[in-house]
Structure 1
Amino acid sequence: MEGQQRHFASSGTGKEAQVAFRQNADAVRQVAAAVEGTLGPKGLDVMLVGDDQEVIVTNDGVTILDKMEHQHPAARMIVNIARAQQNEVGDGTTTATVLAAALVEEGAKQVARGVPVAKVITGIRRGVRFALKRMQEKAHPIWELDDEWLLRIAYTAGREQEDIAELVLEAAALVGREKLIAKGFKLADAVIAHPRAENAVFSGLSLPGVRLHPQMPVNREGVRVLVLGDDLVPDMVNDSYAGTDAGMKKQEQLDENFREMLQKIIEAEIGLVAVEGEVHPLAEGLLTEAEVMAVAGVSREDLLRIAQHTGARILKRSALQRSSDELESLLGFCEEALDVENMGHIRIGGGAGKPSATILVGAATEEVVSERERICKDAASSVQAALRGGFLAGGGATELALARDVEKFRDSVQGMERFGVSAVAEALQRPMAQVVANAGFNPLEKVEEVKALQWKRQSHTLGVDCDRGAVTDMVEMGVVDPLPVKYHALKAAGEVSTAILRIHTVVKMKDSLRIHQK
């Protein structure tokens, strides 16, 4: 017991701690190795193979990390940072992973030299905060949707697929700047894909689902829209009364009330009913006879999109008991509702609410169309991020310039925390080194060459042309990245790396404890 107390009270610089840091760093390094080869314009793809022989070929970082097998807890923490990056800005997951792995590796090196882990962690936090502040100062804002930099950003994030870049910008123009910068809206959600479909952008929504009955109209124009976040079924009597005379009488009354609700829908000339839950056969039959298009099993997220686009309110079933005038004020409107049968989608266009757009991406096969969908989502996320925060030089140029700034900042830091700051400076050189290595050049040679020229010219935009290997201005080449993508990648990498470095040892929980916590 006394030995255990000494073990957990150690300063974090003993042999046990160094072994733990090295094991954690190795686990993180293995995760980063799976995705770093995809970084940059010359990055390659990764083939993921499942037990059932499922095959996915992609260079999308979050897809690779999400699908690959992970054993070590520290590795899972890195995967979580990729998911957080994807949820926050929709792109930059590979950069975030590479930075996090580099910070863990450099931090572990400092601990191995005898620097107390607490000092390393504090230094990393200070270095990251300083780098984030300097990063914001270097950004170029974008104010208009017709800014030529948006096309370059879409082209770069879209893996240099010109058709995808054009689709994204067309959709952005339909939606408008105000909605694009609004909190909670994600242009990437507007992307759908289908094999053999033609690329297209159209005003409105395209949501998974089909009309309830084949005899319901395929197309309705100029229709009122009812959005029901509930089941469209009659209320049922309490089980304790079921089968009794009173219960049967009560149920008859509830069924009659349900018929009146349905009749109210028909009399209100509602043309489209979107239901979150189930639809009773009686409702299906009456709505079909009245030529109403009804869709069931619509997700809550899609219900919200329909409501926003058409100007409708999401209602509970009880709202159908209101007067016709009250109900009318809660309905939405759209110019067209179309069941695209070959895609299994309902298309809603010309809504009376907020403008929406749908980006339809096509390809020859299921495997290719899935990858093109992911690429298009990345491009849409990058365009939106650039509008919100501006852009910076890409290709690792900004990170390398920040590394130089952090090195200068380190000279002002007193005590052993400066070793943690040094870890940040070293880690910030990793993105360019990896991009250059993926292009087939010597990363050490090229990074040092760019560092020297950046210092000589006092530039933060110089990088490496991955075709020629020459040092050139990334902004002049059109190689730029949105500020929010880079900012969140470094911020998240700093958070997860310090969390991993704080881990002194890994202890497996008892099965009973894990079950209890679940």
Structure 2
Amino acid sequence: MNLKQAGSGAEVDERLAALLTNASAVRAITASVEGTIGPKGLDTMLVDRFGEVIITNDGVTILDKMDVNHPAAKMLINIAKAQQAEVGDGTTTATIMAGGLVAEGVNQVIRGVPVARVIEGVRHGIAVALDAVRERARQVGSVDDPVLTNIAVIAGREHRDIAELVVAAARLIGLEKLKEANFKLSDIVTAEEGADNEVFMGVIVDKERMSKDMPQAVEGARLLLVDDALEPEEIEDGALGTEAGFKRYIELQEEFKANIRKLAALGVKVVLVDRGVHDSAEEILTDAGIMVVQRVSNKDMRRAAEHCGARPVKRTGLKKDPAEIEKYLGFADKIFEDEKLEQIRILGGRGKPMATILVGAATEEVVGERERIAKDAASSLQAAVKGGCVPGGGAIEVAVARQVEKARENIKGMAAYGVDCVASALRRPLSQIVENAGFNPLEKVEEVMAAQAAQGSDSLAVDCDSGEIADMLARGVVDPVPVKLHAIKAAGEVAVAILRIDTIIKKKEEGANAAKQVAGDAGMPDF
């Protein structure tokens, strides 16, 4: 399409201003993570204004920590976060494909294809791609399937020690637990400086006992969880100035102490508290030889409750009869404080079986990255258990792109150009993997497409060491189906949303911010 057909260059720029601006922002975001994908991908250094540094090649971490203001860029980042929340991995792939879809969509619009037709074609192409991935899924029938180790190694960025921990935990937990909708294997991962790699049945509470005078270890422990502050009920300050108010204050203090003494009488050995603990309660519980852990996080409280079969109770619940309080208690074979790691371990709970993956790190700087790696490996393994696996290394995307291109033949009109956008975006992951490995992406992607077609194999891609065409399944390079499905779907959704934006308007401030807006805009021309 020439300038006479489209009008002057100024008219073209004005007509496409919003689209081009958004496409540039999306390209900048894509560029920030594309160098990290694949076995030869490199790391990114994130630095804040205080000099704090994070070094990672985890896509969602890079995107989450970036200083971004552009709304279209934020849309892309939100899609990556949604991918992480849903399946726990594949954020870089989703981002690269979304960037590819937007870039190709813009190119088609510049050529003269109506946006509506591009969007129509993109939606059709995405639907074909999703069906194609589902058709190629291979189900995982057992936690002993070797494919799970391969998935954990790949998602764990070749950290085999971490992958082995994740696989060991999966075997402890079992297939049924891994398939539960509300259970996330990544939630049982924790990393600690100076710790040894370890998997065990039990949970960790990331706190120390309240006092060194309390027992450091308890066996055959009855456990109480207080989802509240372990303190006397409060009375209004004004009431303390009256005789009746002061009398009521004394009564509440004595009642509270009596309730605490009930716990010792019930044989409670460990108390976990959501908030703070009053001095009088600390003194009574210490004298009774009871371990108390205060300010326990909601996550740790929930896991401890499930593992031990306990029910959290409010402080007012301690007024109940001892027989009623007993119904709230949990039990564990052993609860002890690891003084080196400054954490509490709860082992052998009588409730649901719970495992913990403890990842060791040599220094404080690498703790966060090793934890992210382990969580990615755990999420990918669980996704494979739930939805099966497909060839990795960019092979499945190229195979699906070939199928999308065949589907284009059945599309009439200009929507076919939107289908082309999907096929092109699907080739982007392999192209970037190859480029990061130091090879010519155009050449290698064409070689893979030709080899797949000639050999009738959807698992062929590029060996990033030699540059030769290789069978990814034979090499053990596999990816979970849910990760691929969500990445393709998310990329399509964000691309369509961005392509649909025709105009960008700064909205006025409302409420408390309106006065600030007026002051800030003083002397500025009207929009």
TM-score normalised by L of structure 1: 0.94
Please say if residues 227 and 273 of structure 2, whose CA atoms lie closer than 8 Å, have aligned partners that are also in contact: yes
Read off the aligned partner of 2:489 and give its amino acid letter. K
| AA at the equivalent of 1:134 | A
SS of structure 1 residue aligned to 2:276: coil
**In the alignment, what sits opposite 2:162?**
164
- Counterpart position of 1:229: 227
Q: How far does the alpha carbon of each residue in 1:178-214 deviate from its partner, in whole angstroms, 9 at most, with x for none?
A: 2211112111121211222211111111121111112
- CA–CA distance in structure 1, aligned partners of residues 280 and 176 of structure 2: 43
| More off after superposition, 35-44 vs 403-412 | 403-412
Distance (Å, rounded) in 2 between the aligned partners of 1:515 and 1:448: 55
Corresponding residue SS for 1:372:
helix
**Structure 1 residue 253 displacement after superposition:** 2.2
Please tell me the residue identity of whatever aligns with 1:143.
Answer: G
Match runs of 1:110-129 below 5 Å = 110-129=108-127
Picking from 306, 314, 317, the partner of 1:316 is 314
Q: How far is the alpha carbon of 1:361 from its aligned partner? A: 1.4
- 1:118 to partner: Cα distance: 2.1
How far apart are residue 122 of structure 1 and its match? Answer: 2.5
Alignment match, 2:248: 250
Matched AA of 1:111? V
* In structure 2, distance between residues paired with 1:118 and 1:253: 74
Contact 2:260 2:284 in 1 (8 A): yes
- Residue by residue over 1:348-371, the C-alpha shift from the partner in whole angstroms, topping out at 9 and shown as x without a partner, is 111111111111212221122322
What SS does the corresponding residue of 2:411 show, helix, strand or coil?
coil
Match of 1:406 among 386, 404, 407: 404
Which residue number corresponds to residue 199 of structure 1?
197
Q: CA deviation at 1:511?
A: 4.1
* Aligned partner of 1:433 among 427, 431, 434: 431
How far apart, in 1, do the equivalents of 2:412 and 2:248 lie? 80
**Alignment match of 1:291 (pick from 276, 289, 292):** 289
Find the counterpart in structure 2 of residue 10 from structure 1: none
The answer to whether residue 67 in structure 2 is matched with residue 69 in structure 1 is yes
User: What TM-score, normalized by structure 2, do the two folds share?
Assistant: 0.92
Deviations 1:47-80 (A, max 9, x none): 1222222222111111111122213211111111
Q: Deviation per CA, 1:10-67, whole angstroms, max 9, x where unpaired? A: xxx9643422212211111111111111100111111122222222211111111112
Taking the aligned partners of 2:460 and 2:15, their CA distance within structure 1 comes to 40
Structure 2 CA distance for aligned equivalents of residues 129 and 207 of structure 1: 45
Number of equivalenced pairs? 504
CA distance in 1, matches of 2:227, 2:176: 28
1:445 CA drift (Å): 0.6
Match of 1:94, SS state, is helix
Answer with 269-278 or 250-259: which moved more.
250-259
For 1:396, the equivalent position in structure 2 comes to 394
The one-letter code matched in structure 1 to 2:404 is V
**2:81: which partner in 1?**
83
Q: Identify the residue that residue 355 of structure 2 maps to in structure 1.
A: 357
Does the alignment pair 1:154 with 2:152?
yes
The equivalent residue for 2:261 is 263
Q: Once the 2 structures are TM-superposed, how far is the Cα of residue 430 of structure 1 from its aligned partner?
A: 0.3
Measured against aligned partners, the alpha-carbon deviations of 1:372-417 in whole angstroms (never above 9, x if no partner) come to: 2211111111111111111110011111111111111122223332
Select 2:471's aligned residue among 470, 473, 481: 473
Deviates more, 1:252-261 or 1:128-137: 252-261
Could you tell me whether the CA contact under 8 Å between 2:194 and 2:341 is conserved in 1?
Answer: no
- The DSSP-based 3-state class of the residue aligned with 1:236 is coil
Shift of 1:94: 0.7
Identify the residue that residue 130 of structure 1 maps to in structure 2: 128
Amino acid of the structure 1 residue aligned with 2:45: M
Mean alpha-carbon deviation: is it higher for 240-249 or for 217-226? 240-249
1:265 shift after superposition: 1.2
Q: CA deviation at 1:453?
A: 1.5
SS class of match (2:375): helix
Native 8 Å contact 2:118 2:417 kept in 1 = yes
Q: Deviations over 1:98-123 (max 9, x none)?
A: 11111111111121122222222222
- Cα distance in structure 1, aligned partners of 2:157 and 2:463: 16
Q: 1:29 aligns with which of 27, 30, 53?
A: 27
Contact persistence 1:188–1:378 (CA under 8 A): yes
Shift of 1:81: 1.3
Aligned to 1:107: 105
Contact 1:32 1:98 in 2 (8 A): yes
Pairs within 5 Å for 1:1-20: 15-20=13-18
Matched, 1:460 2:467: no
Counterpart of 1:492 in structure 2: which amino acid? A
Distance 2:204 2:144 in 1: 25
Alignment match, 1:300? 298
SS in 2 for 1:183: coil
Offset at residue 418 of structure 1 (A): 2.2
Check if 1:217 corresponds to 2:215.
yes
Q: Alpha-carbon deviation of 1:260?
A: 2.0
47-56 or 280-289: bigger deviation = 47-56
2:92 pairs with 77, 91, 94, which one? Answer: 94
| Cα distance in 2 for residues equivalent to 1:36 and 1:308 | 41
- Residues 17 and 505 in structure 1, CA contact (< 8 A), matched pair in contact too: no
1:330 to 328, 331, 337: 328
Paired amino acid for 1:158: G
**Residue 60 of structure 1, aligned match among 58, 61, 72:** 58
After TM superposition, the structure 1 stretch with the greater mean CA deviation from structure 2, 108-117 or 150-159, is: 108-117
User: What residue number does 1:9 align with?
Assistant: none
Q: Which amino acid aligns with 2:484?
A: K
**Equivalent AA in structure 1 for residue 212 of structure 2:** P
1:238 Cα offset (Å) = 4.3
Distance 1:25 1:241, change over 3 A: same
Q: Any idea what SS the aligned residue of 1:314 has? A: coil
CA contact (8 A) 2:387 2:480 kept: yes
2:37 to 28, 36, 39: 39
Aligned residue number for residue 502 of structure 2:
504
Distance 1:118 1:266 in 2: 71
* Whole-Å separation in 1 of the counterparts to 2:353 and 2:308: 9
Q: Is the 8 A contact 2:204 2:300 kept in 1?
A: no
Question: Quick one: which of 175, 180, 183 aligns to 2:181?
Answer: 183
CA offsets, 1:131-179, max 9 Å, x none? 1122111110001111010111111111112211111111111222222
- The residue type paired with residue 372 of structure 2 is R
SS in 2 for 1:57: strand
Alpha-carbon distance in 2 for matches of 1:99, 1:116: 21
Match of 1:369 in 2: 367
Helix, strand or coil: the match of 1:47? Answer: strand
Identity %: 53
